[in-house]
Structures are given as structure tokens and as C-alpha cells.
Structure 1
């Protein structure tokens, strides 16, 4: 388990509908070179190009040389090639929970409120370090011909201090407040979903209550990604997410510093519709 001297909140994602990722079926392509390096370090031109190991081979990465014979004749120049890939999983008729954010609140005094400091994680979870909450909706209601709607809730677990693999719960209630943020279709601020923001929510640690964070009605958005971003670069706190630390969490009798972390369970639930288009 990853520990930190700072106070962090981690994330755990759950979804009403789950999409299983499919491994792409691709034929591996190798890099090629127009020259090879000899045992004595000299270089010899090769024609046609020769296949070399992958440029990412951790033991023996390939050297793709675009050979220049020094003749000044452009037509005599050699080439080097390498291949990468573009990939995507295309969905249709599905609603998916793609990304959930980690919240890092740095160092906080007992009995104080602190802004989001970064999006680091203190535990191994589903959270991302960009502060992104993302849903993708590819459903269309066959009757209304519009998107069908959905909601996302969050539940804050108990804050624990972990030492020697033993979890000790913190005393008092931590409050995680999320302000409304503009919903977008990408991480570019200009790609806004007009009139749509996330929902203000205050999560209480260990209360076992789902709090609505995103709630979109049918037809109020288009198919594709819906993003709420709660991000803070290190050194640039963000008040869109704030943590209130109870005074009881500190040690009143002696100086102390303890790291606490709590899971957040995010739940995506579709709004029911009579039939998905194409189903």
C-alpha cells in the first residue's frame, strides 16, 4: 500500500453499467534502418532497409538510422521507419463510467478547512491524477430520439491511518465539499455543455450515503463524453473541492502527524427508457 505524509482522499469506482475493454487484434510492425552498426563501431549502409528491434525493447532497443552517405545527393539518402498506433474502443447503446478523480489535500491542521492541493493518490485505486470525472453515453432513446439521462453519485468512506498494515479510523467526521463545475465534452474549457454543471455535494466520511454529483436529464446533452474536472496543479490550490478536517482527528495531548485516506465510491446509474435505438 502506498503511504504519504500528507492527507489524501482516494477513489474507488463502481458503475451501474460496465463495459469490458476488448484487446485490439493488431499485427506487430517493426522499425527499420538504412544502416547498421558493426562490432567495431563503424556504420555500414544497407539496401533495402533492415528490420531492427522495437524502439521500446527494454533489453535491446532498436537503432533506426536514416543514413547520410555524405554525397550531397538527396536521392541517395537512406530512411528510417517506425510504427506506433492509434486505437479506440467504439461503443454504441452503452453508458460507461470512464474516469473518477483522486483528491489530494496536502497537509491540514485539525479543525481546519483546506482546498484541493493536487490529484495524487495515496492508495492503489481507479482514480486519475487529472481530477477528471467522465461518463460516456452512446445511448439514444428509440422513441424520443434523444439521449436518455443518467446520474452519478459519490459516497465517502471512513478515513483511516494505516501503519504496519493495520487501519485505525480517524475520530470525527470529515466533510468533502464539491462545488458545481462546468460540464464539458473534452478537457478543453471551450467545449462546454451549455447550461449544464455538476451538482454541489457535501460528502460526510463513513455516512454510507450516496450524494448526487452529476445529474443530467434526457435530451439535455449530446452523445459522447461528459466531463467534470476537479483539478489542482501542485502549488495552485482549487476551492472547487474542499476538505473540512474535524478537530477530534488531531492529538490534543502531544504533537503528531498522521496520514489518513478514505475511499470514494462513484456510482453511475442510467435513467430508464423504453428501448435503446438499434436494440
Structure 2
């Protein structure tokens, strides 16, 4: 299973500038139609009261059984930097309105990589564990139109937790984390997760990459192919690949 997310950075070339992201707010007012009835009081005034109105809504859910899914991958926004510099993660909200580059299709602003493993095997004490899987990630070049730059995305080692933010390891003395990944543009995919069968609780498994220390982007010294005296927004696509079996140690 493969998913693609987006990395965005504004590269400054010989100019002093500031960038800002527009914030939009919207309000939606919804009202259910309600029957009313009029009641005349002793003093002759009329009061309107709600009648017994019944409203219905829906509950929907997808039940997974016996499969492994990649449900979410994070987008990354690194603000502004320069060639020869690095930047820590600013947010997971990417603005693609002023870009001329390939876009990741699956990234989210939640800053989380999330798997659900519904393939269960039961331990002797009745615990439902997973049979194992691995996750890799790779990154392409930073692109703006015909201009491309190489980059290095570093993903820190982050705890692997369930939906209640409890570590998924069945061994309380050994918490599981992602492996630190150093992803170079055009380089080989880096393994971030490799869980062996019977060592973790089946269900939701996720890692958060949403804080400044969880990810950083370096743009090494290289030939500048963008206009001088400019602030140019570049995108790079991160490809996440989930494999249903672990890499045997």
C-alpha cells in the first residue's frame, strides 16, 4: 500500500521578505424544523412552545477485519529557508495555491502516520497481537516549475501509540518508536517502522510528526536554478509504503 503526502518550503534567494498564510473563517448555521404550538395565558398573552418533535441522525463506521491499512500520512510545512540552511517543522498545513509542482494526494494536516492492523493472532494470555508489518518513506526533489532542488528530510524517532496514546508494545519495559529516518531527494526509501509478529497490540498504530523537533528539512548548497532576489515556494512529494510483513531480523 502506497500513499503520498506533501512537503512545502519557501526558498529565499537574495531578498529580504516575509511570507504569511491567509486564514479563512467560515460559519455554518443549521437548524432543524420544529413544530410549534400557541398557548394563550390567563392575561391574554400568547406563548409559543415547541411541540414534541423527534429528530433522527446517522451513525456510520467501516469495520475492518483481517486486513492492514494505511489510513493517514502527514503533510509538512517548513516555512522559509535558504539554500545551505535547514528549518524545523512549522506546521502540517500546506498551502498549494501558489505552487507549480507535483502534489501529494493523500497527506493530511493532522501530522500523523496512522495504520490499522485488524489481522489478529492471540497470545497465551488472550491478548490480540498483530502478525507484523513494515513502513518505509522516500522523498523526491523540491520542485517549482522547471526548477528543482535536492533536499534532506529528517524524521525523528517518535513513539508508536494506539488511539488512547498508549504505547502499542506488549512489553511494558520496552516501548516501541519509529526509527529515525534521513530521507534524501532521489535516494532509497528509509525504513521507519518494522514491527515483528506477536510483539504489539493489534488495532490503531500511529506516530505523530507535528512538533518542531519531530521533523526538519535541509536544503544543501547547490546550484540556484530559481530567479534571484525572490521568495519561491517549492514542493516535494513524500512516498510512504506499507508492507504487510516485517523485515526479518
Pick closer, same or farther for the CA change 1:197–1:244 going to 2, 3 Å: same
Deviation at 1:83, TM superposition (A): 3.0
In the alignment, the residues of structure 2 paired with residue 168 and residue 254 of structure 1 have an alpha-carbon distance, to the nearest angstrom, of 12
Partner of 1:223: 202
In the alignment, does 2:72 pair up with 1:69? no
Deviation at 1:174, TM superposition (A): 0.8
Deviation at 1:97, TM superposition (A): 0.8
Find the partner of 1:138 among 113, 118, 123.
118
In the alignment, the residues of structure 2 paired with residue 196 and residue 149 of structure 1 have an alpha-carbon distance, to the nearest angstrom, of 13
Partner of 1:169: 148
Which one has the bigger strand percentage? Answer: 2
Is this contact kept in 1: 2:131–2:197, CA < 8 A?
A: yes
Q: Any gaps of 5 or more consecutive residues in structure 1?
A: 9-57, 233-237, 273-279
Partner of 1:114: 87
Is this contact kept in 1: 2:147–2:226, CA < 8 A?
A: no
Partner of 2:242: 268
Partner of 1:160: 143
In the alignment, does 2:167 pair up with 1:192? yes
Q: Any gaps of 5 or more consecutive residues in structure 2?
A: 1-6, 12-27, 42-48, 97-102, 170-174
Q: Deviations over 1:153-212 (max 9, x none)?
A: 0010121112xxxx4322xx31100011111112x54x33241111100000112x1101
Work out which structure has the larger RCO, using CA pairs closer than 8 Å and 6 or more positions apart in sequence: 2
TM-score, structure 1 as length reference: 0.63
Deviation at 1:215, TM superposition (A): 1.6
Deviation at 1:84, TM superposition (A): 2.7
Partner of 2:216: 242
SS in 1 for 2:38: coil
Is this contact kept in 2: 1:5–1:258, CA < 8 A?
A: no
In the alignment, the residues of structure 1 paired with residue 90 and residue 177 of structure 2 have an alpha-carbon distance, to the nearest angstrom, of 22
Deviation at 1:244, TM superposition (A): 0.6
